[in-house]
Amino acid sequence: MRTALMILLGLVIGIIGTVNVMNVLSERNPMPKAVMHTLGHHMGALKSALENKQCDATKIQHHLARLESTATDITPVFGTEVADFTDHAHQLQDHLQQAVQAAPTTCAALAAVVKPVGESCKSCHDKYR
Ligand code: HEC
């Protein structure tokens, strides 16, 4: 009985320890998720602009510019040199650069530039997320 209790206690302590270590590891580098959440925030704003058919040119351009600059953080922040991953990041940057340069002023124009951007997010997520 005593042995069984000791084994159980050991297991519980082990589990608590593992959870703590995992938390510390993910807190040590919150940047990858922070960058993704920032991208998600601005993409969300653009999607709701499209849904509500309220495509204010100035607001749109702000979100596109924030997406463009945030996307340049992906590669350094994820700290990987895996060529295929950085290719995905570059593809996103290219599409965002095109979107910013297009400076859409209508919902139709916004939808056209957002589509390839969303596809770039998805293709990387399908593989690496
Ligand atoms: C080059 C690859 C790549 C591209 C491009 C990319 N992501 Fe991600 N994204 C990831 C990876 C990897 C994760 C998982 C990160 C993790 O769990 O630490 C992720 C996770 C996320 C998450 C969830 C974050 C969390 O806390 O779980 C959101 C939201 C997100 N991405 C939004 C976007 C949006 C929006 C775009 C496009 C504008 C985008 N991402 C483009 C690789 C990418």
Q: Is 128 in the pocket of ligand 1 (CB under 6 A)?
A: yes
Q: What is the pLDDT of residue 120?
A: 98
Check residues 77 and 22 and name the one with the higher pLDDT.
Answer: 77
pLDDT in tens, 12-23: 767 666 565 556
In order of their start, the domains of the chain are 30-128 (1.20.120.10)
pLDDT in tens, 110-128: 999 999 999 999 999 999 9
CA distances from 40 to 5, 9, 14, 23, 47 (A): 47, 42, 36, 23, 10
Q: How many angstroms is it from 113 CA to the middle of ligand 1? A: 19
Q: Is 85 in the pocket of ligand 1 (CB under 6 A)?
A: yes
The vertex-23 CA angle with 19 and 24, nearest 5°, equals 120
| Closest C-alpha to 101, from 64, 48, 52 | 64
Once rounded to an integer, what is the mean pLDDT over residues 54-80? Answer: 97
- Does 93 have pLDDT greater than 80? yes
